[in-house]
Amino acid sequence: MNESLVSAYKDILSSRGLNYHYLSLPAVGDKPTLLFVHGFPSTSYEWYHQIYYFSERGFGVVAPDMLGFGGTSKPTDTSLFLHTAIAQDLLDILDAEKVQRAIAVGHDWGSAIISILSIKHSDRFLGFAFAAVTYNVPGPFPPLDVILEMQTKIYGRPLLGYWKFFEQESAPSLIEKNLESFISVLYPDDPDNWLTLMNRPGEIQAFIESGKMTKRASYLTDEHHSHLLESLRKGGLTSPLNWYWCKLKGIDSHIMEEIPKENLFIKKPVFFAAARKDHVCVYDYAVSEMEKYARGGLKIIDFQGGHWVHLEEPETFNMELEGWIRDTL
């Protein structure tokens, strides 16, 4: 990331007292601002293809390091990862930047957060763009073994087997000891590696404990790889894994109790970059959820690769997203 972008980062204390480190580039004229919300185990750097592309075309960009990552606070209290509270943190950033109407773009856990932005704060946004991971309605989280069993009945295999590793207290230190192995699993050259390493319980743990490596994805450049390693070495994995622990401990399970049922439906236009080979957020499920909840218009673009669509095919992703913004908004 070039120096001029690095110098465009700021820090803010959110209304609940957490420090957020974020990139802010103002919009030119009446162009909208894009709020980019990353997931695990990334930082705002992950959006660099999009940051360059959209800022060069006059769009505003706000891209925070999310809670637990990069230059943002790294709390270990799981209750602080309540998704409605994190959504409010992002609104605090938009308020500080005087952004009235934004387009929220989410990937991975970021998709869960922009789902909350739609459910609770739809009026603040022009539209919502989801990358790979579909719209998510927060609700009670069944025991993990029940989920894995249910997935096996539906898909012929469990999908969230890696959560069995992530839920363990020893997971952060095991990952920290074998960070390069871990990153090679999460960013594999062959997305089908996830069919075993991510889907099946026990596989990822055995793999990284023995320090094995898969072939790293070509879209993960040396610079990006070094950034990931450095940021996770510095910050550790205890805080980031709270994104999973928050679900497993039921922190989010009461969110919908306060919210009118009609708010479950996305009222604003939706863009979905659907990944054919995301073997965790599987294509058919992802698309059917989108079709079920998007009531303000839906554009689905199919990508043939895996989970990291915006890194793997950035030119197509950026052009399609810009085209949707132009035609819809």
Kindly report the number of other CB atoms within 10 A of residue 7's CB atom.
9
Q: What's the confidence (pLDDT) of residue 266?
A: 98
Convert the pLDDT of each residue in 8-48 to its tens digit: 999 999 999 999 999 999 999 999 999 999 999 999 999 99
Total Cβ atoms within 10 A of residue 9: 17
Residues with pLDDT less than 50, the chain: none
Residue 22 structure tokens: 């974020």
> CA 75 to CA 243: how far, in whole Å?
11
As annotated, the residues of the chain forming the CATH 3.40.50.1820 domain(s) are 3-141+252-327
For the chain, first and last CA: distance in Å?
A: 29
Could you tell me the strand order of the sheet in which 19-25 lies?
9-13, 19-25, 60-64, 33-37, 102-107, 125-131, 270-275, 298-303
> How far apart (Å, rounded) are the C-alpha atoms in residues 278 and 261?
29
CATH of 3-141+252-327 among 3.40.50.1820, 3.40.50.300, 2.60.40.650, 3.60.20.10: 3.40.50.1820
- What pLDDT was estimated at residue 199? 98
What pLDDT score was predicted for residue 2?
79
Q: How confident is the model at residue 215, as a pLDDT?
A: 95
Residue 236 has φ and ψ, to the nearest 5°, of 75, 175
Q: Return the half-sphere exposure (C-beta side, CA atoms, 13 A cut-off) of residue 138.
A: 29
Identify the CA nearest to 328 among candidates 268, 286, 275.
268
Amino acid 329: pLDDT: 84
Cα 71-74-76 angle, rounded to 5 deg: 175
Q: Residue 316 has what pLDDT?
A: 98
- 281-290: burial string, b at 16+ Cβ within 10 Å, e else: bbbeebbebb
Spell out the residues 6+ positions from residue 127 whose beta carbon is closer than 8 angstroms to its own. Answer: 103, 104, 268, 269, 270, 271, 296, 324, 325, 328, 329
What is the residue-wise DSSP string for 16-49? TS-EEEEEEEPPPTT--EEEEE--TT--GGGGHH
Phi, psi dihedral angles at 6 (to 5 degrees): -55, -40
The pTM of the full predicted model, rounded to 2 decimals, is 0.98
